[in-house]
Structure 1
């Protein structure tokens, strides 16, 4: 088989994967706390016909050798954890994280998951939960007679109840940070899970270190830049087309050879 067929096939597969990542980024341009994906490629093994520096004759060595590549492959995808634009909502239970930290929630399995989406709500039991109804960790309960909820930059949650003017502290929101956030496992539903690659979570109060502060009445938007994604999409589409042209050219060459030797 003509090696160009295999090489161009790997190029088509690579650009198809890149287009899939771009499509997912664009689909989530309005998803709160979404972090864009980028794909990482590497070249495949080389067919080395002559080693660089190999002896050509008694007085000459090959300066570069002969090394023929065999295409490309997808080696990984990476979440880009740059901060998205902060959007003011004026909703008292909305919080945006202006730093690298993650809110912690308890999944149905009992495991802890991590999120950048700060669309908090109160469930029927008065517990503070995220948009999917998962309880915030540590547990915070809002009294039934609360008339106002205040969330400080340091994560302190206070409420004002009917008949009182002084706020009462009811809990403390904490954040978790990771040495390698791109190593987190994306679960969907704006949730991430700890892995060996991400490292263990480092928990602290908002405002400590690089965890960042909380901004009440605001949400962090997606960090997807539409114009950038569109440019990447056009480039990927053109590269896809060029690889298919190589496929067609290699096929024509093989067809010509098969007809010429009849």
Structure 2
């Protein structure tokens, strides 16, 4: 009976990992540029201890690999809003000072005059963090070029090229999620850059990409896990009842 209880308890423990991913995805349904993760996988682990040497147990493994399916694109009309097209990702500076990647394109100019996204991560260009001279109006072209013009200039103000967004093609690499929510190359040290491809990467100006999480799908999976949890608890209760019944039958009359 104790083996049955152990198996049911192990199932509850392993489901907790995938439940954390589901809860995180549901919490980010409305987050701009958020990407869901692939489902957790199972691997066989040899059970050490008393018993046969051939005993193995399934154990869940999660590396939080990013699912790069595109989310819905919504037009905003805001000059600093961009949505990454296809499998493009934008290079930003992470809080620990190394480069990382994101699909969040709600850009703004901070009080230091640097371009950052809605999460406060500095946007990197070809020459490092992009700095905007004070008092200029900024817009981003489809090829990632950042232009600015002086609204106080008389006549037709000419757009001046400030820098170009450092875009990377993520179609040929596996991306994993960092602790701060940014992306990195899976199984590579933090700060590893994606090799430059020959593809012409594009962005969609004055638009934002919504999260690619399906709220209905995530809720359905969460309910399935809740039913599985209830089933495992029921098995443990029934096991206790059978154990008590067996013990009572062994008592002398």
Q: State if a TM-score over 0.5 links the two structures.
A: yes
1:93: Cα distance to partner? Answer: 0.8
Aligned to 1:3: 3
Bigger fraction of residues in strand: 1
Q: Distance in 2 between matches of 1:248 and 1:11?
A: 15
> Aligned residues, how many?
236
1:217: Cα distance to partner? Answer: 0.9
Q: Distance in 1 between matches of 2:21 and 2:183?
A: 18
Matches within 5 A, 1:1-262: 2-42=2-42, 44=44, 71-76=57-62, 77-138=64-125, 139-146=129-136, 148-161=137-150, 162-163=153-154, 164-178=156-170, 179-182=172-175, 184-188=176-180, 190-197=181-188, 200-202=192-194, 204=196, 209=199, 212-262=201-251
* Cα 1:253–1:180 shift into 2, 3 Å: farther
Q: Flag the structure with larger Rg.
A: 1
* Cα 1:7–1:108 shift into 2, 3 Å: closer
* Helix, strand or coil at the partner of 1:10: helix
TM-score by length of 1: 0.78
In the alignment, structure 1 segments of 5+ residues that lack a partner are 48-67
* Cα 1:196–1:20 shift into 2, 3 Å: closer
TM-score by length of 2: 0.81
- 1:185-241 residue CA offsets vs partner (Å, 9 max, x unmatched): 4232x4223453589433549xx52x7411111111111111111211221111111
Q: Distance in 1 between matches of 2:6 and 2:58?
A: 10
